[in-house]
Structure 1
């Protein structure tokens, strides 16, 4: 699968004996979604200007923006994908210089002296999440105050450090941290947890569809994150500096063309449907 994706991508990279290999690390699910999104949109990242699709979650669209940025740069390159079981492993491999780039945008606070940070893909106070419950939850029809919601247990992944920090800054102290082997959707469907803190999808009713069922956000409540998100490139990688420069060069152009703004809207990050919802974020 990975070699097939590589062959498609290389058709649209610059062909040269001196081409730099850009290794991108991430999870297989995002790479597979990216492959399907790319096929649906014609196969050439540089020619895509509409990001709407059944595969267009934030991580997948972010990967597409990354490959678009490279295609708009002057870098002569080829791309390889390296799969990793989780984000933590991916970032360790990147910071050690074993790979060049992470597949999607990353919180600004995750960067350190071993990494290059691109220009912002998602600006500060743009990324939002909601409070998701099972389809039949009584919380969907109740009128909750901010104070009442803050008192309820909110479930997140134990490694979602920015989510936990943002919830705490916003006055949420009853935070249930689930390990990676526990399915948020499975536990929601069985009533073992009541509320999960999740990204809004780009669906008409904001519903998240999963094999465990349908899940909906508690109306009129959201959290805005105060940090920005960026692409991460390894300083320890032999070609890290060149790749980082190329990504910023390409991003400048696709930002100018309005493609980044369109992409984050169509992937659900910047939702017009919740623009009037009350933000519970700390000022």
Structure 2
């Protein structure tokens, strides 16, 4: 099974507990927490679905085409974190795609600016045409979301850290980032502080799913167990609780304006 290398933070969060006994999903480590939560939900879903054996994670530096290649070939069974549905459309013949762990309409992010740039903290929606935001065109969902706003997009293909450095050095004004789990929504990266533009958020127009190899000999059985378990976790409220307690669905920005609201499907809130 593949995962970005969140191993150390994962074990710090467990703190000796079994992943199956986790009921409280509040963050206890710095950095994005959703990856840790997904590792736990994946294991809980598999057990509920009837797969009662330990899950062994094989960390990799990133999710990329090579990982999909291993899944397609049947050399790897499942990814340990969710992926955008759009990113695996071309591989659906080779991959089982689970029910969504993050449903369409649930993924929101903020326009993070350097905290020292106080003049950017309270921009109105009507002022967005003045704001430059760095974005990677290979991140298709982010790219499409931003192109449905009045923001000025600066294309950059490179590491996330370099993009954040562009914000720090004022090459650009902002970067689209998951809302921080801190009480103030402040992001502290290498002792540099960033905050979201107040009262504005961006909806990312896609759902996220676990994927399982069709060619792996255990693929179908694991997929069926996974979907069964995910349905149970969805029905008993565990998935919603996990996403909210982890800060992924951030209650602090519940009433903020969605600047690309037109992308929501009819009937969505």
TM-score (norm 1): 0.83
Q: 2:28 — aligned with what? A: 54
Distance (whole Å) between structure 1 residues aligned to residue 115 and residue 195 of structure 2:
6
Q: CA deviation at 1:282?
A: 4.5
- Is 1:204 aligned with 2:183? yes
RMSD of aligned residue pairs (Cα, Å)? 2.0
Q: 2:242 — aligned with what? A: 263
Q: CA deviation at 1:109?
A: 1.2
**Secondary structure of the corresponding residue to residue 101 of structure 2:** strand
More strand by share: 1
- Is 1:25 aligned with 2:2? yes
**Secondary structure of the corresponding residue to residue 55 of structure 2:** strand
Q: 1:113 — aligned with what? A: 93
**Secondary structure of the corresponding residue to residue 122 of structure 1:** coil
Q: Greater shift after overlay, 145-154 or 200-209?
A: 145-154
Q: Which of 42, 55, 73 is the equivalent residue of 1:66?
A: 42
Q: CA deviation at 1:147?
A: 4.1
- Is 1:175 aligned with 2:154? yes
Distance (whole Å) between structure 1 residues aligned to residue 107 and residue 200 of structure 2:
14
Q: How does 1:207-218 map to 2 (within 5 A)?
A: 207-218=186-197
- Is 1:188 aligned with 2:156? no
Could you report, residue by residue, the CA deviation over 1:8-45 in whole angstroms, capped at 9, with x for unpaired residues? xxxxxxxxxxxxxxxx10221x2222222122xx4212
Which segments of 5 or more consecutive residues in structure 2 lack a partner in the other structure? 263-269
Q: CA deviation at 1:171?
A: 4.5
Distance (whole Å) between structure 1 residues aligned to residue 260 and residue 76 of structure 2:
35
Q: How does 1:143-162 map to 2 (within 5 A)?
A: 144-162=123-141
Distance (whole Å) between structure 2 residues aligned to residue 248 and residue 147 of structure 1:
43
Distance 1:181 1:248, change over 3 A: closer
TM-score (norm 2): 0.87
Distance (whole Å) between structure 2 residues aligned to residue 280 and residue 249 of structure 1:
36
Structure 2 contact 111–175 (Cα < 8 Å) conserved: yes
Distance (whole Å) between structure 2 residues aligned to residue 43 and residue 178 of structure 1:
39
Structure 1 contact 45–71 (Cα < 8 Å) conserved: no
**Secondary structure of the corresponding residue to residue 99 of structure 2:** strand
Deviating runs (4+, > 4 A) in structure 1?
none
Q: CA deviation at 1:181?
A: 7.3
Count of equivalent residues: 256
Could you report, residue by residue, the CA deviation over 1:40-72 in whole angstroms, capped at 9, with x for unpaired residues? xx4212211101122361111111111111122
